[in-house]
A = this chain, B = another copy of it.
């Protein structure tokens, strides 16, 4: 039926739409630029999503899934030898910002007066935060209240540090060695 086909098509296009947003940000990713990236005409995109905002919302969701999947895969790959949190630190300290998923967030933050966009960004941050919290808790193997508090604030801090690493890379503020120092495991009092 109609909806089935649309669903398929959306699934096929979404990575490309998301890529356009991730490279250009919300405003600069004009509908024509997105269509170009997808190798189709604008009218086709508008048959798959109601408007540009809907394309953006779908892209944020997609990229969130994407990041968590990559982390998950990376962790399970080396689960035998290392603790998850350490794997994540090692991975991110070298790969952070490689995917270029960040522009979409910064540009989205400028559009928060659109409720849909605000909501999807909240969901994204909360999902990533929850994932990190769980990992920190399992690292310490403890669920007492004060540890939970520590895990939650630490998780937010880690996301912040990651953001700064991203900005630093984007603006060429510092090099690889600084990036590694910023994500040194010592900052967790390990």
Contact = CB atoms under 8 A, between A and B. Distances in A.
Q: State the copy count for this chain.
A: 2
A110 B107 contact: yes
A92 interface: no
Nearest to A178: B153
Interface in A14-55: 24-25, 27-28
A61 to B, nearest CB: 16
A173 interface: yes
Given A156-B182, A184-B153, A110 B103 contact: yes
B125 A171 contact: yes
A159 B152 CA distance: 19
Interface of A: 24-25, 27-28, 103, 106-107, 109-110, 112, 118, 121-122, 125-126, 129, 149, 152-153, 156-157, 159-165, 167-168, 170-174, 178, 181-182, 184, 187, 189
